[in-house]
């Protein structure tokens, strides 16, 4: 039983090709999987956990542009032929992932149309998130964007409670920590979330959706590879 949804979807011969030299590894909260313009020779297929893609400027400002869980893969740039990542990728909520060397990934892609189709479809889902996050930051308030980020995190963690710090949320939203603390306090006073010692609990998901901008519902429709595959 494979918990990563892409691996689970593959035909068994394609799966064997991809995972021939792969191994499942534990990933700790805060661990950086890809640094900016850093060459790493692995792609990751999460079995559990939430992983964040951050876009940055040369001066160090960062914005979270996409979240990935066990529906996806990390290392999209390898799939597209690049050697280094234009985004930083780190572990928001700890978990596990299948780690596959770039040579194995390329060999599997050369020999499996099914794998290539699936991973390109998943890349479309991530590109959609990046585009949506970029537009969202222009038009929507920190409280709305925080609500969206928490709802997506909850979906990917598949749990109402997950570990995340205000520092991480501030980095994701591209704002100072005080603004996240203010927005989170507002959501907590409304009874939508509860935050204590690094553990955030969504108490009222429907209420959170009601205060969230429209970008959450729009991005949910295109959140996984399935949205881009031919029926």
Which residues bind to Zn ion, rule: CB under 5 A? 136, 140, 213, 215
Q: How far is the CB of 160 from Zn ion (least distance, A)?
A: 22
**Which burial class, exposed, middle or buried, applies to 66 when counting CB atoms under 10 A from its CB (0-12, 13-18, 19+)?**
buried
CB of 86 to Zn ion, least distance (A): 23
Q: Smallest distance from the beta carbon of 67 to Zn ion, in angstroms?
A: 14
- By beta-carbon proximity to Zn ion, the closer residue of 119 and 175 is 175
Nearer to Zn ion by Cβ, of 73 and 152: the residue is 152
For residue 113, the minimal CB distance to Zn ion (Å) is 36
Minimum gap (Å) between residue 137 Cβ and Zn ion: 8
Which SS3 state, helix, strand or coil, does residue 20 take? coil
Report whether 6 contacts 119 (CB < 8 A).
yes
Which neighbouring-strand residues pair with 200?
Answer: 162, 195
- Tell how strand 199-202 and strand 161-163 pair up: antiparallel
Could you give the angle at which helices 177-189 and 166-173 cross, rounded to 10 degrees?
110
CA–CA separation, 25 and 89 (whole Å): 16
Per-residue exposure over 29-39, b if at least 16 CB sit within 10 Å of its own CB, e if not: beeebbebeee
CB of 149 to Zn ion, least distance (A): 10
> Considering beta carbons, is residue 97 or 215 the nearer one to Zn ion?
215
User: Which residue, 121 or 213, has its beta carbon nearer to Zn ion?
Assistant: 213
Beta carbon nearer to Zn ion, 115 or 215: 215
CA–CA gap between residue 79 and residue 19 (Å, rounded): 16
**Which residue number, 157 or 215, has a Cβ lying nearer to Zn ion?**
215
């Amino acid at each position: 039983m494979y918990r990563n949804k892409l691996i689970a979807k593959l035909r068994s011969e394609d799966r064997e090709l991809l995972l021939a030299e792969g191994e499942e590894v534990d990933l700790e909260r805060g661990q950086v999987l890809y640094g900016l313009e850093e060459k790493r020779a692995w792609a990751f297929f999460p079995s559990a956990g939430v992983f964040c893609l951050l876009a940055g400027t040369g001066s160090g400002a960062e914005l979270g542009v996409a979240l990935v869980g066990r529906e996806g893969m990390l290392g999209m740039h390898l799939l597209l032929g690049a050697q280094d990542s234009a985004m930083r990728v780190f572990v928001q909520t700890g978990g596990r992932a299948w780690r596959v060397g770039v040579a194995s990934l390329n060999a599997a892609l050369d020999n499996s149309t099914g794998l290539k189709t699936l991973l390109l479809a998943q890349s479309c889902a991530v590109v959609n998130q990046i585009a949506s996050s970029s537009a969202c930051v222009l038009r929507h308030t920190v409280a709305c964007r925080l609500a969206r980020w928490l709802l997506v995190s909850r979906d990917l963690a598949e749990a109402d409670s997950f570990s995340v710090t205000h520092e991480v949320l501030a980095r994701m939203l591209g704002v100072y920590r005080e603004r996240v603390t203010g927005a989170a306090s507002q959501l907590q006073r409304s009874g939508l979330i509860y935050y204590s010692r690094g553990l955030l609990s969504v108490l009222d998901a429907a209420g959170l959706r009601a205060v969230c901008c429209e970008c959450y519902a729009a991005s949910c429709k295109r959140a996984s590879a399935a949205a881009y595959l031919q029926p």
